[in-house]
């Protein structure tokens, strides 16, 4: 294939694959475009003329007409707009690959309608497959809505020329019969160049134990972090504690709904609930909230030890971010985290046992040399494996694979 024409689609830009799209164009690996909604196109026009627009077939923000199929309906409105835009694009230029997002640009209206290989990114097939904390279960209405979303995702896994998911842990959530068409590849990250650190005449700061995730949810392990902090305070451990992330955003679970049912508005967030349950932790944990990127980076640099006791998850970009910035991390010895961390090399993997975590925290607190060893290796491996220059050639191989898959399918006369 000569320089391929690749069109990324999604209601949000940069969102998923936005920076990869830019990078493929900047480096000459592909003639890449990003097709997004008019508002995102307008806000990002300065990034280049390759940011194109499509108009969804109706509103995609806010409630849809039927609760149980809201995400499917939203995907249909987006998909209808994407189809019209791609058909208009094809009149001017042949497209080799369309890269879609399973929910914010689902390709189910594209099959057999455009002359291009279709790649679908699916983070995970459903919350039923992903898992949720049994202490905060979904109600029946949420379970029913999840089935429709799973239906949409599994349909894409069957019909797409290739499916990309972010981790092997995510791939195992799909039915075994569908996994042969699914490849694992996490998106690329831009890690800033190391800079000389200015001389700091400030007095030594306390040992700091941190947590970082987009959402302060049970799924991301925030409840476990709070419980561990509570136990450390009980033991008289002298340290500062900081939890980075939003308390009131959408989570990968149903804690917020549970809080609403339990407190009837008297407590607003899951974080606030935990602060009531663990008052000792509430007195010591600092919550900076969601921060601008540069402030977030400075916060990470000031944390000596990160606890990442993930319960459920398939691709926590925040974990790659802190590893790539040279953080010392403790994580569970299972699931997605164990794909990123090699025990006693670029971090430490632990069983789901509070005593083991407390012992590891105390040991590392008194062992700065080992913390430095983990942090140095974490930065090196994360940048080696997940920087844009590293992942871009891998994505190009996957896109070529999708084109080949489509060619074989078309030559055999198969519909799917």
38/252: higher pLDDT: 38
- pLDDT of 205 reads 79
The reported pLDDT for the residue numbered 16 is: 85
Give the contacts of 122 (CB within 8 A, at least 6 positions apart): 102, 153, 156, 157, 163, 164, 165, 170
How is the beta sheet containing 51-53 ordered, strand by strand?
Answer: 51-53, 31-36, 5-9, 97-101, 117-121, 162-165, 182-184
| Domain regions of the chain by residue span | 5-189+387-411, 208-386
pLDDT band of 34, cuts 50, 70, 90:
very high
Mean pLDDT of 172-177: 97
Q: 371-382: string of b/e by CB count within 10 Å (b at 16+)?
A: beebbebbbebb
pLDDT tens, residue by residue, 212-254 = 998 899 999 999 999 999 999 999 999 999 999 988 877 888 9
- Asked if pLDDT for residue 373 goes beyond 80, the answer is yes
Class of domain 208-386: alpha beta
pLDDT tens-digit readout, 89-116: 999 999 999 999 998 999 999 999 999 9
Nearby residues of 140 by Cβ (< 8 Å), 6 or more positions away? none
Place 203 in a pLDDT band, splitting at 50, 70 and 90: low
140 close to 134: Cβ distance less than 8 angstroms = no
Identify the bridge partners of residue 241 per DSSP, sorted by sequence position.
209, 285
pLDDT tens-digit map of 272-309: 999 999 999 999 999 998 888 888 888 999 999 999 99
Q: Would you state the pLDDT for residue 318?
A: 85
Tokens of 115: 């002359």
Cα 45 from chain centre: 25
Looking at domain 5-189+387-411, which CATH architecture does it have?
A: 3-Layer(aba) Sandwich (3.40)
pLDDT at position 198 over 60: no
What's residue 344's pLDDT? 97
| 77-88: average pLDDT | 97
Contact call for residues 292 and 170 (beta carbons, < 8 A): no
**Mean pLDDT rounded to a whole number for the chain:** 93
Give the global pTM.
0.92
Task: Return the higher-pLDDT residue of 402 and 63.
Answer: 402
Residue 368's pLDDT band (cuts 50, 70, 90)? very high
Residue 134 has pLDDT above 70, yes or no: yes
The confidence score (pLDDT) of residue 196 equals: 45
| The pLDDT of residue 197 is above 60 | no
pLDDT at 416 over 50: yes
5-189+387-411 and 208-386: identical CATH topology: yes
Residue 371 or residue 219, greater confidence: 371
Minimal CA–CA distance to 187: which of 10, 410, 405, 404? Answer: 10
Give Cβ neighbours of residue 405 (< 8 Å, ≥ 6 apart). Answer: 117, 161, 162, 181
Q: How confident is the model at residue 199 (pLDDT cuts 50, 70, 90)?
A: very low
């Amino acid at each position: 294939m000569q320089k391929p024409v690749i069109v990324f689609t999604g209601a949000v830009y940069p969102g998923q694959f936005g920076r990869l799209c830019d990078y493929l164009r900047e480096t000459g690996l592909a003639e890449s475009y990003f097709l997004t909604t008019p508002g995102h196109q307008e806000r990002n026009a300065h990034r280049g003329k390759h940011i194109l627009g499509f108009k969804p077939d109706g509103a995609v923000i806010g409630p849809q007409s039927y609760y149980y199929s809201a995400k499917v309906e939203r995907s249909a409105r987006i998909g209808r707009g994407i189809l019209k835009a791609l058909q208009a694009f094809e009149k001017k230029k042949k497209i080799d690959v369309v890269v879609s997002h399973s929910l914010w640009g689902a390709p189910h209206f594209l099959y057999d309608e455009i002359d291009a290989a279709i790649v679908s990114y699916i983070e995970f097939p459903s919350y039923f497959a992903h898992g949720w904390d049994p202490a905060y279960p979904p109600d029946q209405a949420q379970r029913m809505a999840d089935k429709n979303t799973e239906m949409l995702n599994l349909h894409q896994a069957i019909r797409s020329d290739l499916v990309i998911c972010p981790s092997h842990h995510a791939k195992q959530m799909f039915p075994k019969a569908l996994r042969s068409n699914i490849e694992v590849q996490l998106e690329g990250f831009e890690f800033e160049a190391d800079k000389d650190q200015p001389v700091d005449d400030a007095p030594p700061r306390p040992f700091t134990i941190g947590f970082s995730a987009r959402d302060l949810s049970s799924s991301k392990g925030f409840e476990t972090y709070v419980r561990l902090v509570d136990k450390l305070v009980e033991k008289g451990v002298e340290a500062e504690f900081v939890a980075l992330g939003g308390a009131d955003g959408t989570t990968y679970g149903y804690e917020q709904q549970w809080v609403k049912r339990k407190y009837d508005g008297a407590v607003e967030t899951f974080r606030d609930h935990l602060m009531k349950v663990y008052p000792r932790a509430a007195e010591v944990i600092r919550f900076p909230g969601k921060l601008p990127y540069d402030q977030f980076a400075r916060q990470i640099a000031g944390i000596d030890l990160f606890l990442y006791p993930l319960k459920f998850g398939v691709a926590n970009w925040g974990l790659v971010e802190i590893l790539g910035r040279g953080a010392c991390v403790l994580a569970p010895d299972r699931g997605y985290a164990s794909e990123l961390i090699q025990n006693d090399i670029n971090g430490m993997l632990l069983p789901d046992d509070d005593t083991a975590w407390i012992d590891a925290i105390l040991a590392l607190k008194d062992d700065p040399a080992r913390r430095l060893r983990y942090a140095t290796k974490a930065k090196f491996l994360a940048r080696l494996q997940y920087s844009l220059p590293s992942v871009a050639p891998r994505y190009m191989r996957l896109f070529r694979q999708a084109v080949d898959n489509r060619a074989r399918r078309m030559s055999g006369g198969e519909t799917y």
